[in-house]
Amino acid sequence: MKYRHPERDQIRVDEVLSALGHPVRLAAVRVLAGGGEHNCTSVLTEIGVPAKSTMTHHWRVLRDSGVIIQEPSGRENLLTLRRDDLDARYPGLLDAVLAGARTDEAGS
């Protein structure tokens, strides 16, 4: 299966913010922000989501909004944060959202 990803100039700030507005998706992006490619299972394990089926919708939202690249690799999908594209399109946005999430967690 080949997934469709928006081109850099098609990434819209409202869709990115909406995608990052869900706690499970934000947690997944925080894992991916560490850099490199991750398989779906490793991200699920790190954020504590037990079933792959639970994440299918979340991966699609993140992919369609331009936040991640999702590429098939054997029986898994590899996930990569589109940091370069997001930083080029909306400088500082991703860092601000991730920093805000850390601040919110510290205050909880």
The pLDDT tens digits for 21-32 are: 999 999 999 999
CB 32 within 8 A of CB 68: yes
Q: Taking the domains of the chain in order of start, what are their residue ranges? A: 8-97
How confident is the model over 49-74, as pLDDT tens digits?
877 777 899 999 999 999 999 999 99
Structure confidence at residue 38 as a pLDDT band (50, 70, 90): very high
CB 101 within 8 A of CB 30: yes
Query: How is residue 47 written in tokens?
Result: 């954020």
Architecture of domain 8-97: Orthogonal Bundle (1.10)
Tell me what pLDDT residue 30 has. 96
